[in-house]
Structure 1
Amino acid sequence: MKFSLQVILAALVAIGLVIAGCTTPGTSPENEVSIIYTRGTGPMPTLLATDQIDGYIAWQPFVEVAPLAGIGKVLVYSGDLPPEGKWENHPCCVFAARQDAIENNPDLTNALTAALVLSTRYIEENPDESAEIVADWLAGKGNFTYGDISVSSVEVLKRAFPTVRFVNDPTDEWKIDQLEFVYAQRELGLLTGSLLNSTDQESLDLLFDSSPYDAAAAMIASGAITTPPANARQVGVGYLLSDHHAALFVAVKNWQYFEETYGIAIKPRDLTASRPEIADLVVNGQPVAELKLISADAGPQLMQLAATNTVAYALVGNPPAIAAIDKNTPIKIIMAVNLEGSGVVIADDAPADDWESFVEWAKSRSAQGKPVIIAAPGKGSIQDVLIRSALEESGLSVREG
């Protein structure tokens, strides 16, 4: 991402003023957009189809549902939101682990990390096949159905995959980019604990432990995965029903390939299930841990499961992970899972086809006393931060409600 710290801090201060009921310099009360929160993305297609909202910002594959169902059009993908270049390659989901899992079971943590890294590489090389695997996991390769809306899951996923960058390397640049979400969550009043007043370096130290990724990358490069000691207890692995977490789904569904090629596999107990719940981590032919794969409705729920030690590992959005660490949940972010992968959708008949015409439409609607209503998954989510920043940059203020 190409950030201007001064611009971003100014935008975040503006967000705080809007939340407090104030308008920002360069905007007027007439130039308002209303944001509502839907506690996830599931309700969004139905709300759009029934004219209860004018648009939404969501993660994939919900972005592609609207055009395929004929109820909306993609206005802009998240990496292209204004200002130009600011959100290119923005962080999204991460792989996190409880600190006691990292410290007490390092070989297990390293092996599981390696399995996800190898799966991510497979996705990059085989996107269409991977999209079908994810469609099977999410919908049994059937249709996504929301009320009267029904669209092919395979077609949706094949459209969605090119807009998501599946990467793992926790580079220094990627870690620093995460700080932008720390700043945003502070301004939104969502951080009140250890990250509220931390310096950038203190924040980085609190958030990250990339040593399991380094160990996994070294094992993959050497062609030999270290066999962990057998784990006596079941190990929880949390995830969301999103294509962003395709690395887990592909690793499980394509376990035989990974075992034969790399000597490591996440092998499901039920080989016929579209969405297995129990799997064995197998390294060099030896089952080393029974994994319970636990889905959640949203990232905060996953972080609560981590806080209670129901899951030791989780694929989760970066804001919920940041918020959990702020509250002293004993987790660390190990690596990236994906970049970008969200988008803004508006009604099919809306008089806008790009961001500039959307801004003009929003100003016109606001002047008529009928602000454009945009749904976001939750306050402080990646999508909320993205849309607020873009609106403020374009001279539009935000009203919640």
Structure 2
Amino acid sequence: MKQIMLVSLAVLLGLTLLITGCVDEAPVQPPNGASEVGIMYTATGQMPVLLSTGQIDGYMVWQPFVSVAEVSGIGTVVSYSQDLPPAGTWTDHTCDALSAREDFIAANPDLVNAIAALLILSGDYVQENPDRAAEVSADWLFGGGDMTFGDVKVSSQDVLAHSIPTIRFSTEPSEDWLQSNDRFIEALRDIGYLTGSLKDASPGEVRDTLYDFSHYEAARAMVDAGEITTPEKRTRPMSIGYLPSDHDAPLFVAIKDWEHFHENFGIALKPRTTAPGKVDVADLIVNGEIITEVRLVQGEGGAQLMTLMGTDAIQMSYAGTPPTISAVDKGMPIKILLPTQNEGSGLVVAASAPVDDWDSFIAWADARSAEGRPLRIAAPIRGSIQDVQIKYALQDSGLVVKEV
């Protein structure tokens, strides 16, 4: 599973020089004759530019940057995330979830329930109104205008309309969803990302450590009853972290279409501004009462949001489950409260690449590696869902993965 990342000019120049320098290096043969693929990490908004200028061979990323490639003609989709190998592993896979600090949950249970209820309602709204969700997401992420990547310009409305239907929005913590997280935990163990409390924990211990579904159950009961309990007013603002992706469309819709939720359900996140684009501050209103100021904090990836949660800079987050799992493994006092969407990522290569599916991608990787020019694939952040999936898929196909 959704505004181009705001990166300073210095960082962009440094990144471009770094990547250009790496591409110009002398060919290096992979060890022991094994085919090799390089994984590098960069801001999602820069990936289409890097791909179109030949500085990377492909990227594994969340939406809408998968759709950017296809709609603009920059690239082609090798595989959506749910179809990556091992076969059947990632079907209906977990992606973003709502999580919160344990101390915040304990001090504000009714507030957490109310926010969970609003996201259940807005998730249903997105599923039922994909065109409106695309319009709202295009406004939030790109101001509703065109997206420009070097010499390439593409309508954000067209991109989001292409992207939203590839994402499954669901808030039910079903057994299938839990098993999907179990598979990610196995993958995280296999590639050495879990080294703490979850490394050797049993399935039951893992679930007890990771989840607190009592707030989903309370929220679901309120939604079904058509009545949201009014939380106590807070004297201090709270902060919710999110990612610049249409995976977060339910959060965007809850804020941009706040009047719909206020009038029909008695709960809303009313933005402090009506200007186009993202919203930084909103008021949570329940049954006509302003409960708290909510600050919306945009992160670059799930791992960064977990760091912000660890320092109490944000109290709740809308981020992928694997980085949340990794944070809990390292001892962060966080609980996953409910899923928000599944699937919605993909592997993209340049439109000129001799690739139309996973098998031809592997053949291309073998050929490039034999030439001493291993493929270079970009991923958002180390430990992200996309990073885990592409590494796991490559290793399953017998390739050596190297971070570059």
Q: 1:31: how far off? A: 4.5
1:30 deviates by 3.8
1:81-96 counterparts in 2 under 5 A? 81-96=84-99
Change in 2 beyond 3 A, CA 1:71/1:92: same
Matches within 5 A, 1:7-22: none
Map of 1:80-159 to 2, 5 A cutoff?
Answer: 80-159=83-162
| 2:16 equivalent in structure 1 | none
Tell me the C-alpha RMSD between the 2 structures. Answer: 1.7
The 8 Å contact of residues 41 and 382 in structure 2, kept in 1 or not, is answered as no
What are the ranges of 5 or more consecutive residues in structure 1 without an aligned counterpart? Answer: 1-26
Which of 252, 255, 262 is the aligned partner of 1:249?
252
Of 329-338 and 144-153, the range deviating more from structure 2 = 144-153
Aligned position for 1:194: 197
CA deviation string 1:214-271 (max 9, x = no partner): 0000001011111111111101111111111111100000000011111111111212
Instruction: Find out whether 1:315 has 2:345 as its counterpart.
Output: no
Structure 2: how far apart are the matches of 1:33 and 1:341? 26
**Letter of the structure 2 residue corresponding to residue 275 of structure 1:** K
Equivalent positions of 1:371-386 (< 5 A) are 371-386=374-389
Question: Alpha-carbon deviation of 1:273?
Answer: 4.4
Counterpart in the other structure of 1:47:
50
Alignment of 1:34-73 (within 5 A): 34-73=37-76
In 1, Cα distance between equivalents of 2:298 and 2:383: 21
Q: Deviations over 1:338-367 (max 9, x none)?
A: 111101111111111112222222222222
TM-score (norm 2): 0.89
CA distance in 2, matches of 1:177, 1:222: 30
Deviation at 1:29, TM superposition (A): 4.3
SS at match of 1:271: coil
Task: Report the residue type matching 1:127 in the other structure.
Answer: P
For 2:191 and 2:366, the matched residues in 1 are separated by 24
- Give the distance between the partners of 2:145 and 2:162, measured in 1 at CA: 16
Residues 38 and 44, structure 1, Cα contact 8 Å, conserved in 2 = no
Deviation at 1:336, TM superposition (A): 0.6
Q: What amino acid is the match of 2:147? A: F
Of 345, 351, 356, the residue aligned with 2:354 is 351
Match of 2:222 among 215, 219, 223: 219
- Residue 148 of structure 1, CA deviation: 3.0
Paired residue for 1:289, among 287, 292, 301? 292
1:262 aligned partner: 265
Establish whether residue 366 from structure 1 lines up as the match of residue 369 from structure 2. Answer: yes
What letter is aligned with 1:41?
T
Whether the aligned pair in 2 keeps the contact of 1:33 and 1:373 (CA below 8 Å) is no
Q: How many residues align?
A: 375
Equivalent pair of 2:139/2:276 in contact (CA under 8 Å): no
State the identity %: 49
Gapped regions of structure 2 (runs ≥ 5): 1-29
1:71-126: CA deviations, max 9, x gaps? 21111111111233221101111100111222111111000000011000000000
State the 1:67 CA deviation.
2.1
**Structure 1 residues 374 and 73: CA distance shift in structure 2, 3 A:** same
Give, in whole Å, the separation in 1 of the partners of 2:31 and 2:295: 52
Question: Is the 2:104–2:315 Cα contact (8 Å) retained in structure 1?
Answer: yes
**Could you tell me how far apart the structure 1 residues matched to 2:59 and 2:33 are?**
21
In structure 2, give the amino acid aligned to 1:214: E
Deviation digits for residues 319-338 of structure 1 (CA, Å, limit 9, x no counterpart): 22112111222110001111
Q: Find the aligned partners of 1:243 and 1:314 in 2 and give their Cα distance.
A: 15
Deviates more, 1:213-222 or 1:99-108: 99-108
Q: TM-score, normalised by structure 1?
A: 0.89
